[in-house]
Amino acid sequence: MMPKLSHRVAVLHYSAPPVIGGVENVILAHAHLFIEAGYPTAILGGRGHSEALPIGADFIPIPELDSQHPQILEMSRELDRGIVPPNFEQMVTQVAGKLAPILASMDLLIVHNVFTKHFNLPLTAGLFRLLDQGAIPHCVAWCHDLTWTSPNSRSKVHPGYPWDLLRTHHSDITYVTISQERQREAAGMFGCSPEQIRIIYNGVDSRTLLALSDVGLALINRLDLWDSDLNLLMPVRVTQAKNMELALHVLAAVKEKGIHPRLVVTGPPDPHDERNMEYFRDLLKLRAGLGVQQEMRFVYESGPNPAESFAIDMPVVAELLRVSDALFMPSHREGFGMPVLEAGLVGIPIFCADTVPAANEIGRHEVIRFSPEADPEQIAGLILQWAENSSVLRLRRHIRQNLTWQSIFRHDILPLLNRGAP
């Protein structure tokens, strides 16, 4: 069951962007994801600024959340030595009092590190108090680090209250760790089974890492290249010289082996040449006959409006090169074969007909060549042999399919909105 979009999400940490830190980077990624998905989102922190957050995210400053707040720092120095300051409970009440009216309007509270780190124990105790009072409807503890198991900070905590809160498993909290190793540590610390603690890995921002524009990202999403097992690119126009019939048969042979590929042709047919358009229509019929309509994609027919033709410029072609696993160029003839150089510079493998001058004279042994008259099964075998032996492709595919922030949000974070979901 998908959560309703009226869910209001609050994210709490000692500090928020533009403060620089690993946790702050994760918070920023989560804020982008929730906002893009349409969920009202607020960030609660002692330090931060709304201008560093995505448009639509609110920043609610509460100075006492900051681990560097003067009073919190003073208390922490005593707590580190095993002394509970006389004004500790007063600060707990002060923090809880400021949080209560804000959290009452939220459907989900995600708390980063506060339940397992010692940097602001009045805040930790205040959150426990609100949980016990039923003032937090749905709470997730995102546990990046654990003081009680850390060799660097273990000396800062001591048996008893309030330090024991950092190793107390609260029944009203959903616990999340960022690795199997941290899950095992947390389960041992809490005295619970590992299954009671979820693992949600940190993700990569594919848009930033691959330098994708709005147009490029939207096109890649429409082509469904993130979930593909193998992305092949033909950065060419639709002409008979490009030997696209062979490409279709090779793609069908790859698909028959249980692989879920994508083959993207970037260039359009010539709409002013009836013979060229007839060739394009024949390719569409062959594509349907081979059952590879979803696997063979022409950019020409993949625009925002499927009823209208679509074309892209070279910068977007470059984006498609960066998200592709290999270049595929089965041309009958080429004057030079510029895509060989482009793919070589981007750093992806090249499968190319031996009729392409750039492959023969420049690529040579670094390019996997074949005859444009070769059997499609043979060419498919070359591609699949490389794919099976490439550790780079296996890792790239795993990250693309499972560890982009978009994938993690869809599969792991969104279910957190449904309290009690497995």
Report d(CA 101, CA 135) in Å as an integer.
9
Report d(CA 41, CA 61) in Å as an integer.
14
377-417: per-residue pLDDT in tens? 999 999 999 999 999 999 999 999 999 999 999 999 999 98
| Same domain for 398 and 409 | no
| Same domain for 412 and 297 | no
pLDDT at 197: 97
pLDDT at 421: 45
Report d(CA 100, CA 103) in Å as an integer.
5
Share of the chain above pLDDT 70, in %: 98
Q: Strand, coil or helix: what is 37?
A: coil
User: In the predicted model, is pLDDT for residue 422 greater than 90?
Assistant: no
| Same domain for 376 and 312 | yes
| Same domain for 413 and 395 | no
| Same domain for 325 and 255 | yes
| Same domain for 349 and 298 | yes
Report d(CA 153, CA 416) in Å as an integer.
30
Tell me the average pLDDT across 170-179. 97
Residue at 159 is within a domain: yes
| Same domain for 148 and 214 | no
Residue at 4 is within a domain: no
Beta bridge partners of 353: 370
Number of domains the chain is built from? 2
Q: pTM for the whole thing? A: 0.89
User: In the predicted model, is pLDDT for residue 273 greater than 70?
Assistant: yes
Residue at 3 is within a domain: no
Residue at 1 is within a domain: no
Contact 393, 374 (CB under 8 A): no
Residue at 31 is within a domain: yes
| Same domain for 182 and 162 | yes
Mean residue pLDDT of the chain comes to 95
Cα angle at 219 between 215 and 221, to 5 degrees?
120
User: In this structure, what are the phi and psi dihedrals at residue 373, rounded to the nearest 5 degrees?
Assistant: -100, 5
Residue at 2 is within a domain: no
Residue 158 pLDDT level (bands cut at 50, 70, 90): very high
pLDDT at 306: 86
| Same domain for 129 and 17 | yes
Tell me the average pLDDT across 117-130. 98
DSSP code of 224? T
| Same domain for 286 and 153 | no
Report d(CA 26, CA 16) in Å as an integer.
10
pLDDT at 364: 84
pLDDT at 4: 52
Report d(CA 166, CA 113) in Å as an integer.
10
User: What tokens appear for 256 in the block?
Assistant: 């028959």
Strands 326-329, 350-353: parallel, antiparallel or unpaired by DSSP? Answer: parallel
Q: What is the CATH number of the domain that holds 378?
A: 3.40.50.2000
Residue at 245 is within a domain: yes
| Same domain for 62 and 29 | yes
Domain of residue 308 covers: 208-402
Is the C-alpha dihedral spanning 166, 170, 175, 181 positive or negative?
A: positive
| Same domain for 267 and 188 | no
Tell me the average pLDDT across 276-295. 96
CB atoms within 10 A of CB 195: 8
pLDDT at 171: 93
Residue at 422 is within a domain: no
63-116: per-residue pLDDT in tens? 999 999 999 999 999 999 999 999 999 999 999 999 999 999 999 999 999 999
Report d(CA 180, CA 34) in Å as an integer.
25
CB atoms within 10 A of CB 368: 17
Residue 236 pLDDT level (bands cut at 50, 70, 90): very high
